[in-house]
Amino acid sequence: MEIRQLKTFWTLASTRSFSRTAEVLNYVPSTVTMQIKALEEELGVRLLDRLGKSVVLTDAGHQLLPYATKILNDIEEARCVSSQNGELTGTIIIGADEVLCTYRLPALLRDYRRQYPHVRLLFKPLSGQNLKQSLREGDVDVVFMLDEPIVSSDLHTEILLDEPFLMVVSPDHPLASRATLSIEDFNREHILLSEKGCSYRTFFYRTLVKNGADSLTELEFNSVEAIKQCTMAGLGIALLPKMALKGEMERGELIPLPWDLSEIQFATQMLWHQEKWISPSIKAFTDLARNLLQ
């Protein structure tokens, strides 16, 4: 039994795809097939079944997986101890949506780089609807999401920080000086929204319609900064996380509206696959994320 065979098996168990495993490990697909076949022959059991384009672990595969994870983790720890005078090494691939990429993660990435300069950090900005899939396909190691509390059978999820939201307009908007608002005040207003698939965009729009708003005009943007700039220019009303509005509100460029948003319960969350091999460098990264963001 070779270490590379175990690594290939572990990666295949995460991606559930021969082609994706080949991409992750920089192999040709035939190499993946050859290594899995050799491992199965040595163990005398079938480790997986192909169901169409998907890969499913057999009972024997499920039994082998925790042992493969432990062996690979021990090897990574041994490498860390024996190289760079015990300093952590390796590569971490991180995914996050645009809001967290801009407002929450820069300080985390900066501090981690300072503490562990020999670890390579690769960052992938992804839309919210692709983040969980990227974990399941093995494209990333850890993702951060701004969403309602996530419950998953195959992903480990942690809430790091509750994120309040505000509804904002420009100072010269007709609603900016109002002490109270009714749902009728939103009729015929322009609503500045993030791209489709964003969870809080869906929640925001659904809440307005449910409460009786009609004749709403939607303007869609793929950037929080674009939404803020257009809101400051007086183009309409936006709902954004408070973390993205601090500077503009302090300068008086955006005004919060007196509208109850207590139903919106979103949080910054950290996720990884439950079957993911957590190397010492990834563990150090998640520990630092908890310390900085909680």
pLDDT in tens, 67-80: 888 888 777 767 66
Predicted local confidence at residue 198, as pLDDT = 72
How much is the pTM?
A: 0.74
What's the mean pLDDT in 55-61? Answer: 89
What's the mean pLDDT in 123-127? Answer: 77
Cα–Cα dist 185/174, whole Å: 10
Per the DSSP assignment, residues forming a β-bridge with 50 are 55
What's the mean pLDDT in 50-61? Answer: 83
Judged against a pLDDT cut of 90, whether residue 176 lies above it is answered with yes
pLDDT in tens, 130-140: 888 888 877 78
Q: Which domains can be identified in the chain, with CATH numbers?
A: 3-82 (1.10.10.10), 88-162+267-293 (3.40.190.10), 165-260 (3.40.190.10)
Strands (E), the chain: 48-51, 54-57, 90-96, 119-125, 142-147, 155-163, 165-169, 190-194, 217-221, 237-241, 255-256, 266-273
Predicted local confidence at residue 84, as pLDDT = 53
Predicted local confidence at residue 51, as pLDDT = 77
Predicted local confidence at residue 245, as pLDDT = 95
What's the mean pLDDT in 207-227? Answer: 80
